[in-house]
Amino acid sequence: MAQAWGAVRLTEARQVAELMGVDPDDRPPADVGVQAHYDALRSSNLRSASLQYLGHALPRLEAIAWAARIVADTAATSPPPPRARHALDVALRWLEEPSEAHRRAAGEAAEAISQPVAERLLASAVFFSGGSIVAPNASPVVPPDHVAARYAVGAIDEATRRTNDPVAALETAMALGERIAERGMAALHR
């Protein structure tokens, strides 16, 4: 039996489905727990749906840290071009020191990349993680709760796709995500 998801604050699968933007008529019943629904997706071998679901079930910081680990591991074996490397570096810097300056630097680094590569998506997840998404002197506009998770999931998906074995890479990523759901950020310590 899998360890309980101690880092996940949501209790119902419906809550996760709502964050994902699933139509209310298509959401799981109210009595289905967060982890039980994920386990059903995984046992049905629905990898993409499982990735989306887990990314939205995790708290924002944990989802971004998960994506950062996967993107950084991929970049270690297949170095990205300079602008993508910069986006990865500023995202990692934000994780070490989550300041407003680093969050905005991640947004700028993401905008400097024209393609939806993993590093751009990760930097976008950081930018949309909280705080205003408009110019600093404008009236604050905060992003919807689900946006950072969507970018984090996209970063994981793109990073695993550019490996030699995308299916195995996604399985490895999912195993790490499950450990993060169980133990939180402690699961990221090597």
pLDDT in tens, 115-165: 999 999 999 999 999 988 988 888 888 888 899 999 999 999 999 999 999
CA distances from 33 to 8, 27, 42, 153, 163 (A): 11, 12, 14, 21, 33
Q: What is the pTM of this model?
A: 0.94
100 or 137, which is more confident: 100
According to the model, what pLDDT value does residue 189 have? 87
Smallest CA-to-CA distance from 146 within 35, 55, 68 is with: 55
pLDDT of residue 137: 85
Cβ-contact 93, 123 below 8 angstroms: no
pLDDT of 185 strictly over 90: yes
Residue 144 has a CB neighbour count (10 Å cut-off) of 10
Mean pLDDT of 76-99: 97
Closest CA to 183 of 4, 11, 1: 4
pLDDT, residue 187, reads: 96
For the segment 32-58, the average pLDDT, to the nearest whole number, is 96
Q: Please report the pLDDT score of residue 132 as a whole number.
A: 84
Evaluate if residue 1 carries a pLDDT over 50.
Answer: no
pLDDT of residue 103: 97
pLDDT of residue 164: 95
The model's pLDDT over 3-40, given as tens digits with 9 standing for 90+, comes to 799 999 999 999 999 999 999 999 999 999 999 999 99
pLDDT surpassing 70 at residue 190: no
Whole-angstrom Cα distance, residue 62 to residue 79?
24
